[in-house]
């Protein structure tokens, strides 16, 4: 029978004894980054433990960049959106359970948003012989979870920030961290290779630049590329800083649409950056102007100010503990949780004028002028709240 945990607790004896921990977060890269404070809480509470992260294949690219994760285990779960289009073959669940069983985990912590069920992952962990299994769950999980946090969160009545939700989960078994900041690390090699790439673009080590990220995994979260270009043009013209566009190779056409809307020079690094190099680029930027996507949460981890074009598809993923301005237009269809705009108008983003974006970016650049003098790796502790 599951033990329902209704309030914060001291760490139970069984959890204090755990040494091999499996964290489960099967969502996108940004979701994993928003889980890093909770992962840090596990590390702080159990400093001698080994922490593995069962993640989606796309999020496994974070391997080597999360200081509190010792190992990544990629897994394309068919109960998640990314794996839904690829039905697994026979024996897939048993195969993963066997792999996890061989790793002899003492405990599993399953991180989900309130619209996801933890029960498929809980079943996998039970099959793997993991004795302690913690998760939020809306219905009684009975034996599937050893430690159950009843999930009372409802989208219509507001949702906690994703970071707060996951910190609350681990706090129920007595795990806390002195710092709730997001975590992301990059190496000196990443900085060195980025400098070479930027030099080839004509950007020297003292270049004054801002980053523009026009892509997002869901179409409903994309600000129109031409409007990104118009905003970037205003920022560049008024600040003298250079626009540097980032994205995947597949997003290169979006970037070119944005650049064609500009009358000032701009650089594109589409498809040319490894994740660590992107981190180094963001760490040295005056500001990031972006859709609500993974780079926003990387920037938050690195202390880089953010202008977030935040579609009103869901409320809980805004930039966390970093100077930021969140921009959108209120619409009756807010919190739709959809990857495609159900109304077809994208008004929550498309009605945000480029001048408003530029004004927000320039205000952050003026508020934090010392970013030009600070080392790339030095993060900010200040926070700006704006609507």
pLDDT digits over 279-331, tens only?
999 999 999 999 989 999 999 999 999 999 987 666 678 899 999 999 987 75
pLDDT the model gives residue 88: 75
Confidence of residue 206 (pLDDT cuts 50, 70, 90): confident
CB-based contact 149:2 (threshold 8 Å): no
Question: Is residue 373's pLDDT more than 70?
Answer: no
Which residues 6+ apart lie within 8 Å of 136 measured at CB?
A: 112, 114, 118, 149, 150, 151, 153, 165, 169
Question: Architecture of domain 3-171 in CATH?
Answer: 3-Layer(aba) Sandwich (3.40)
pLDDT at 375 (0 to 100): 44
pLDDT at 387 over 60: no
CATH fold of 188-372 reads Rossmann fold (3.40.50)
* pLDDT for residue 107 is more than 60: yes
- The gap from C-alpha 212 to its chain's centroid, in whole angstroms, comes to 17
Instruction: Please tell me the distance from the alpha carbon of residue 191 to that of residue 274, in angstroms, as a whole number.
Output: 11
pLDDT band, very low/low/confident/very high, at 382 (cuts 50, 70, 90) = very low
| Distance from chain centroid for Cα 207 | 27
- 366, pLDDT greater than 70: yes
pLDDT (0 to 100) of residue 153: 82
Residue 327, token pair as written in the block: 């921009």
pLDDT exceeds cutoff 50 at 379? no
Mean pLDDT of 97-119: 96
> To the nearest whole percent, how much of the chain has pLDDT over 90?
70
Least Cα distance to 276 among 254, 256, 255, 301 occurs for 301
Whole-structure pTM value = 0.90
Predicted local distance difference test score (pLDDT) of residue 260: 93
Per-residue model confidence as pLDDT tens digits over 164-186: 999 999 999 999 999 999 999 99
- Please tell me the predicted confidence (pLDDT) of residue 384: 28
Per-residue pLDDT at 271 exceeds 90: yes
Nearest to 153 by CA among 133, 169, 141, 171: 169
Domain ranges of the chain: 3-171, 188-372
How far is residue 332's CA from residue 261's CA, in Å, rounded to a whole number?
A: 30
**Whether 61 contacts 41, CB under 8 Å:** no
Higher pLDDT, 260 or 205: 260
Given this model, what pLDDT does residue 330 score? 72
Q: Per-residue pLDDT tens for 30-85?
A: 999 999 999 999 999 999 999 999 999 999 999 999 999 999 999 999 888 765 66
Say if residue 21's pLDDT is above 80. Answer: yes
Q: Where is pLDDT greater, at 118 or 337? A: 118
333 vs 70, more confident: 70
For position 86, what pLDDT does the model report? 64
Q: Same CATH topology for 3-171 and 188-372? A: yes
């Amino acid at each position: 029978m599951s033990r329902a945990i209704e309030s914060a607790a001291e760490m139970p004896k069984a959890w204090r004894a755990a040494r091999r921990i499996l964290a489960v977060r099967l969502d996108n890269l940004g979701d994993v980054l928003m889980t890093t404070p909770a992962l840090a809480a596990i590390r702080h509470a159990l400093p001698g433990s080994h922490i593995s992260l069962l993640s989606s294949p796309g999020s496994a690219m974070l391997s080597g960049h999360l200081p509190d994760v010792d190992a990544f285990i990629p897994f394309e779960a068919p109960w998640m959106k990314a794996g839904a289009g690829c039905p697994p073959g026979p024996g897939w669940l048993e195969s993963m359970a066997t792999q996890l069983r061989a790793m002899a985990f003492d405990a599993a912590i399953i991180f989900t948003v309130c619209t996801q069920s933890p029960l498929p992952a809980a079943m996998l962990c039970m099959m793997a012989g993991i004795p302690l299994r913690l998760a939020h769950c809306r219905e009684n999980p009975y034996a599937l979870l050893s430690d159950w946090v009843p999930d009372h969160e409802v989208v219509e009545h507001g949702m906690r920030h994703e970071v707060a939700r996951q910190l609350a989960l681990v706090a129920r078994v007595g795990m806390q961290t002195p710092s709730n900041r997001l975590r992301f690390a990059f190496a000196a090699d990443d900085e060195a290779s980025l400098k070479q790439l930027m030099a080839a673009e004509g950007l020297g080590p003292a270049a004054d630049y801002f980053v523009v990220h026009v892509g997002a995994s869901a179409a409903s979260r994309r600000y129109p590329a031409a409007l990104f270009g118009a905003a970037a043009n205003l920022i560049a013209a008024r600040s003298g800083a250079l626009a540097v566009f980032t994205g995947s190779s597949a997003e290169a056409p979006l970037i070119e649409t944005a650049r064609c809307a500009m009358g000032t020079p701009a650089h594109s690094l589409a498809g040319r950056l490894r994740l660590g190099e992107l981190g180094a680029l963001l760490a040295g930027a005056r500001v990031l102007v972006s859709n609500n996507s993974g780079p926003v949460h990387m920037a938050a981890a690195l202390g880089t100010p953010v202008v977030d074009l935040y579609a009103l598809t869901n409320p809980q993923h805004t930039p966390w503990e970093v100077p930021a301005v969140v921009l959108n237009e209120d619409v009756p269809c807010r919190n739709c949780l959809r990857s495609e705009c159900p109304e077809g108008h994208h008004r929550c983003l498309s009605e945000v004028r480029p001048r408003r974006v530029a004004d927000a970016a320039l205000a952050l650049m003026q508020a934090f002028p010392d970013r030009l003098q600070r080392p790339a790796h030095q993060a900010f502790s200040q926070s700006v709240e704006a609507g």
